[in-house]
Amino acid sequence: MNKFEFKNLVKSLKDSLKEKTFFKDLRKEVDTGANGTQDYVVKKGVNKNTIATTRQ
């Protein structure tokens, strides 16, 4: 491995580490069901005003 290849390897490792820390630090948590997306209410039909589930 010559000097040029070594510099490129060090640079790529440094960039990948920096990218990983950005993804780790800038990720935001979300609130489940914050805007009513957790439970959907049926608007029309036989089951009007009931909460829709995925169970069948």
Range 13-23 burial, b when 16+ CB lie within 10 A, else e:
eeeeeeeeeee
Q: What is the pLDDT of residue 36?
A: 63
> Does pTM surpass 0.85?
no
Q: What is the pLDDT of residues 1-56, one digit of tens each?
A: 799 999 999 999 999 999 888 887 777 777 766 666 677 788 888 888 888 776 65
Closest by CA to 39, choosing from 51, 54, 55, is 51
Instruction: Give the span between the Cα atoms of 15 and 9, in whole angstroms.
Output: 10
Domain total for the chain? 1
Residue corresponding to tokens 């909460």? 51
Q: In the prediction, which pLDDT does 17 show?
A: 92
pLDDT at 55: 63
| Full domain range(s) for residue 25 | 3-52
